[in-house]
Amino acid sequence: MKYKTKYDWDWIESACALLAKSALANDIKFISGIPRGGLIPAVIVSHKTGIPYHPFGELKSLTDIEGVEKHNILVIDDIVDSGRTMSKLDKEYITASLVYVENKLFTPYIYYFTKYSKDWVQFPWEIDSSETIQDYLNKIDKIKNG
């Protein structure tokens, strides 16, 4: 397993404060989080701003509300590493992450910290025995491919 960089709750508080400030400056009407890692920061930013949180599965239905466009919806993830997850979103959504690892696939609109090392990031809501992303993705691939 690779070396882990651990972020504590004080760090999360600072990161979410920046995302909240950006959300208020960008006419955001709804906040959502990418399951699993984006849920906690999305709820924190929702509380800090008073902007309603809605589950990720409801993103498409939010644009049925009069006056709400995709650029009024903030979608948060804890980390953008390979960029695979966020790159699947429509580019009109406003995207944010606590940590951004430079990649060629996707750059979030808002991010708190750029990470240059290849260390695995561990957030306070993850357990110490959590695996590196490569191990996690390998398990998904095995399940999908039998």
Compare 67 and 142 and report the one with higher pLDDT: 67
CB of 100 within 8 A of CB of 119?
Answer: no
Average pLDDT for residues 68-81, to the nearest whole number? 95
pLDDT at 132 exceeding the cut of 70: no
Largest CA distance in the chain: 49
Q: Please, what are the domains in the chain?
A: 4-145 (3.40.50.2020)
Q: Write out pLDDT tens, residues 18-28.
A: 999 999 999 99
Instruction: Work out the pLDDT band at 133, boundaries 50, 70, 90.
Output: low
pLDDT at 73 exceeding the cut of 90: yes
pTM for the full model? 0.86
Q: Write out pLDDT tens, residues 93-122.
A: 999 999 999 888 999 999 999 988 878 888
Instruction: Work out the pLDDT band at 42, boundaries 50, 70, 90.
Output: very high
pLDDT at 43 exceeding the cut of 60: yes
Write out the two tokens for 31.
């906040």
Could you give the CA distance from residue 90 to residue 71 in angstroms, rounded to a whole number? 10
Cα 7–chain centre separation = 15
Q: Produce one character per residue of 46-64: b if its CB has 16 or more CB atoms within 10 Å, e if not.
A: bebbebebbebeebeebee
Length of the chain: 146
